[in-house]
Homo-oligomer: A and B are copies of this chain.
Amino acid sequence: MGRRSSHTPEELRELILEASTELISEGGLTGLSAREIARRINYSPGTLYNVFENLDDLVLTIEGRLIDGLAAELDKVPAQDSPMEQALAMGRAYLNYTSKKPKLWNLLFEHHLPAGREVPVWYQQKLDSVMQRVEAVVSPLMPRRSAEDVTRSAHVLWAGVHGITSLATADKLAVVTSEGAGPLVDLLISAYLQGINQSAKPAR
């Protein structure tokens, strides 16, 4: 049939990403399908594969944007506050950002690449950039610790906050839901950061 579209390549790309984001926001990763995207934007399924390698590629692109969005939110945390206040503010920023479209954010953890495929470099870099922001805030709170320990703590907090929001989202593991994730995230951050300071190197 040939060209029929009134869209530039960039527009088409955005169209696809928008439709995909919407589908995921509504139904999670399960709600996404190449054919349904095509239907919504009025193109044939084949067209998607001119723009993206495959669905994994498309999803990875969306994930990248989500991470960028979080990074931007974390940057808004006032730098003049005390480190502990900044840490708590980051936790709340994470929660605030991710809870708008929980299923969309959950993409980062639901989506697994097929065995063998590695995450692209740019993806890892985006993630590292977020981790660095966390480290920067955690670091002054553990002055006697090595850089490795700071990194470890940043990872623990990142994973912990993820764990809490993830369980809160999954209505299935509703153990947590009853109280909402907010207080739990506060609790994790404040208790952890106080504990890390006052303890000798933990056993092991």
Binding site for B on A (CB under 8 A): 27-28, 30, 88, 108-113, 115, 118-119, 123-124, 127-128, 131, 152-153, 155-156, 158-164, 166-167, 170-176, 179, 182-184, 186-188, 190-196, 198-199, 202-204
Contact = CB atoms under 8 A, between A and B. Distances in A.
Given A166-B166, A172-B119, A196-B191, A204 B186 contact: yes
A191 B166 CA distance: 22
A164 B156 contact: yes
A128 to B, nearest CB: 7
| Number of identical monomers bound together in the oligomeric complex | 2
A166 B173 contact: no
A187 B170 contact: no
Given A109-B166, A161-B163, A186 B172 contact: no
A88 to B, nearest CB: 7
A33 to B, nearest CB: 14
Nearest 9 interchain pairs by C-beta: A163-B163, A195-B195, A191-B195, A194-B195, A159-B163, A160-B160, A190-B202, A191-B196, A159-B164
